[in-house]
Amino acid sequence: MVSDLKKYSIFSLIKNSFSYHENWQKVWRSPEPKKQYDVIIIGGGGHGLTTAYYLAKNHGLKNIAVIEKGWIGGGNTGRNTTIIRSNYLWDESAAIYDHALKLWENMSQELNFNVMFSQRGVMNLAHNLHDVRELKRRWNANRLNNIDCEWLDTKKVKKYCPIINTSQKIRYPVLGATLQRRAGTARHDAVAWGYARGADSMGVDIIQNCEVTNINEKNGNITAVETTRGLIKCKKIGIVAAGHTSMIAQMVGLRLPLESRPLQALVSEPVKPIIDTVVMSNTIHAYVSQSDKGELVIGAGTDGYISYSQRGGFNIVEDTIMAVVELFPLFSRMKMLRHWGGIVDICPDASPIISKTNIKGLYINCGWGTGGFKATPGSGWVFAHTIANDQPHKLNAPFSINRFSSGNLVDEHGAAAVAH
């Protein structure tokens, strides 16, 4: 049953103010699972919800369920640092990330839901000669792919972000930076809620607190999923469960080339607007931006060990904070409010897997590492195409699982020094 979606507008805001905002329509339904679906998406994060949304919108499929073991957006979607950019080195990566960025630019209007996408620009800092060479190489590659990118020298970096310490005597001196002005940030929770609302309005069932315990297959064909809320029959399954994807794939005997590691982030106490861009540094592995609530959002690195814990090692956070304080001396007296970890799934070449499998009706979308949030709409768009047509779109064809046996890697790890 398709829900009767009421549009958000200034008029609905005024109307609901008369009832003290107590009569707003629920953003999405909480239905009981049906006995059978055409497609089941395992994982109710950003990528899973966008996949369901585009399956319904672009391909006309209606009998779809999104199954989430906790609550939607409660995994990595709600734990990341919300940075959005497309300035990747390889053509394959640049194409899919820039497709995602174009979808980001119209997302709030398309969903009728404010995802607070802010194109405030993203700077990638260079701290040594190797960084300068690598970033200039990426700058030239971006220009060849028609992706906006600029090279800033130290003076221009200081002018664009005055609070950066550009002294050449510090441990990590700023020698320059690339700048992508179309890049920026968004509110991660709103992205999940907006796509959930949009998918629900087209008849997609969003089923929370429903953990998958087994996947049934017969003669190489998917037949059903066993969950904590009963058996659900289906024809196709898309697994989009980030760091837990490999665990679910093992239910059908599928081993994936993934490592699951904690990725940490932290936020400070809220302060008045002080940094109106995003500053990234691969060398010290720190990302700094400011949220709409005024908190400084700082991203750290992945831990050196494999784990399913949502708490990482303190030494990672300590190293990041030391470097951030050196780059931004005025942050030194601020208090950290909280920090957390998300379980990211990392491929050997630091690029995702968006692919069919050798089991008919089973599809996987994983391996995004630390770069999944920025790809959210693009990932769902191409994964929906792959599931609906049983063939990859040209944008995700290079990200087949078979590349690890053919050797056709999309090696962002080695080539572009991508942190994940």
- pLDDT > 70: percent of the chain: 97
- pLDDT value for 1: 45
* H/E element, 378: helix 376-389
Q: Which residues of 24-51 are buried (b: 16+ CB within 10 A; e: fewer)?
A: eeeebeeeebeeebebbbbbbbbbbbbb
The rounded distance, in Å, linking the Cα atoms of 142 and 152 is 15
pLDDT in tens, 229-243: 999 999 999 999 999
Q: CA–CA separation, 97 vs 86, rounded Å?
A: 5
Share in percent of the chain as helix, strand, coil (round to 5): 35, 25, 40
Distance CA 295, CA 307 (A): 28
Chain segment 102-130, per-residue pLDDT in tens: 999 999 999 999 999 999 999 999 999 99
Query: Per-domain residue ranges for the chain?
Result: 31-80+188-257+349-416, 120-184+259-346
pLDDT beyond 50 at 63: yes
Mean per-residue pLDDT for 334-338?
90
Is the entire prediction scored with pTM above 0.75?
yes
Residue pLDDT, tens place only, 283-328 = 888 899 999 899 999 998 888 889 888 888 888 899 999 989 999 9
Classified as helix, coil or strand, 380 is helix
**Count of other CB atoms within 10 angstroms of residue 120:** 16
Question: What pLDDT was estimated at residue 202?
Answer: 95
Residue 415 pLDDT grade (very low, low, confident, very high; cuts 50, 70, 90): low
Class of domain 120-184+259-346: alpha beta
- 274 vs 164: CA distance, rounded Å: 11
Segment 150-177, tens digit of pLDDT:
999 999 999 999 999 999 999 899 999 9
Q: CB atoms < 10 A from the CB of 311, how many?
A: 12
What's the confidence (pLDDT) of residue 124?
94
Q: How confident is the model at residue 191 (pLDDT cuts 50, 70, 90)?
A: very high
On average, the pLDDT of the chain sits at 93
Identify whether the C-beta of residue 212 lies closer than 8 Å to the C-beta of residue 234: no
Residue 188 in contact with residue 77, Cβ under 8 Å? yes
310 contacts 80 by C-beta, under 8 angstroms: no
Q: Whole-angstrom Cα distance, residue 388 to residue 273?
A: 45
Q: Which of 75-79, 207-211, 392-396 has the lowest mean pLDDT?
A: 75-79
**Measured between alpha carbons, how far is 390 from 92 in angstroms, rounded to an integer?**
20
**pLDDT score, position 180:** 96
Cα–Cα distance for residue pair 385/398, rounded to 1 Å: 15
CATH of 31-80+188-257+349-416, one of 3.50.50.60, 3.40.50.740, 3.10.129.10, 3.40.50.300: 3.50.50.60
> Dihedrals φ, ψ of 299, to 5°?
-100, 135
DSSP string, 30-80: -PPPPSEEEEEEE--SHHHHHHHHHHHHHH----EEEE-SS-TT-SGGGTS
More confidently predicted of 417 and 223:
223
